[in-house]
Structure 1
Amino acid sequence: MYQVFISGLPYTASENDVQSLFEDCGEILSIKLPRYQDSNRLLGYGHITFSDSEAIQKALALNGTQLGGRYIDVKEAKGTQPQKPNVPPPDCLTIFVKNLSYDLNADQIGDSFRPCGKVANVRMVYNTVSKNFKGFAYIDFEDHQSVIKALQMNGKKVHGRQVQVDFDVKRPKAGYRYQPKQVEQQNKYNQEYQEIQKKKIKKEKAVQKVKKIKNFAETQKQISAQRNKQQI
């Protein structure tokens, strides 16, 4: 395996930034840059796999090169890094989708993947400060075969953007919930929103029931008062 290990990457760098820096070294087979699950920012290191050893030597010559204001380290990879399995485990019901259009809502995302199978829930990820959608989301399906089908959408366009799809076996953090300002736009695939709506409807029914009882009591009181007047 012709692979180099790079570190010191800017957390805001993208795969395109890394590819642009190393593309003149030779044919790049893959670029793997681990990211934080909650923020999607780079961890600062990664691996680049080339097609031949000559490309490795050219890549090593870039050691100390600046990228995004930081000096990066380039070394030949030692051994094989543990890789995520290519096939999702049988109990996996979730996919992770990134590079989504920023103006999408949960219903639009869910509808895009509905041909793969019944979508149970869509969790969009928002910026904690601006509250704007960050372009990636988790989609839960009701069965495993839907996940298999959804993975085949990797590299295909969704609402005009080429998305990246992978399976996910980790439980997302609580921050992957809907934002109140988006509620009116999304409800079909948002379990949390649906639960809130159920509670809201239940509360409204209870209020209406109390009002009905009060109105009935008031009506009975008026009828009773009218009868007393007639008797007098």
Structure 2
Amino acid sequence: MASSIVDNIESPSLTSNPSASEDEKSSINNSDEQYRKLFIGGLSYTTADDKLKEYCSKYGEIIECVIMRDREGRSRGFAFVNFKDRAMIDNFMAHRPHIIDGRQIEPKRAMPREETLKTEGQLTVKKIFIGAIKDELTEDDLKSYFQTFGNIIECKIMKTKEDKFRGFAFITFDDYDSVDRCILEKPHRINGKELDVRKAIPREQTSRMNGFILNNNMNSHNLNTDFYHLQNRYPTHLMINHPTLSFPAFSPYAYLPPSNYLSKPMPLMGTTPATTTNSLPLIL
């Protein structure tokens, strides 16, 4: 089952190794912390830390709850909440929408820095790109694996006009949280082969980002902070995506694979996919 594969890789537990040393236990706790952290945007500027903690504690034990503030102590409208267990975040997200002090908040799983530094890491989307697919894999194989992360609306393995296999696919979920879970719980393997899973960037969004670079003479590294800051009211150094960004529905053909899938040969079947770059998808 997909869940057992992912959990074995991404979620080591102390109970699975009762003889672990204190140093090993510390390492396990640190690695698990990312999965227990929640970003909450859209807060009322009058919401107090205690009020937020009281509300979130309905869904699980809170380890830490911090509303981010400026130098004058004024709320910046977002917070971070650390739960005791990752299942508590699942519970919190399953009970959306949440309203605190008359405002609907915008919860999202906090992403590790290596993900937020990627161009696609800044977006809130309901579609993932899957690369390094072996030609014997079918759409049913992909659905069977990824349905553990949420309800799948569409799964399409891309082919040429001549019906030749292109080595990548797109899956659309009905919830952005399913995509975030896929990204958080990498790596993903089917039949022992690692897949290259990323957030899919809509063609329209790619065009907007490329135009932003050209108009401002920027490179993709600067885009990671400046384009993000352009669209979101949250500070750039946190690199946390704003969950209310929305895009119109696109067919799979309105999405482009990352540029290294267009400009470089596909990796040999059975090899590890090439390291992800921050380059923008090309416009065909």
Same fold (TM over 0.5): no
Higher relative contact order (CA 8 A, sep 6+): 2
Q: Which has the larger radius of gyration?
A: 1
Instruction: Return the TM-score normalized by structure 2.
Output: 0.29
Instruction: Return the TM-score normalized by structure 1.
Output: 0.35
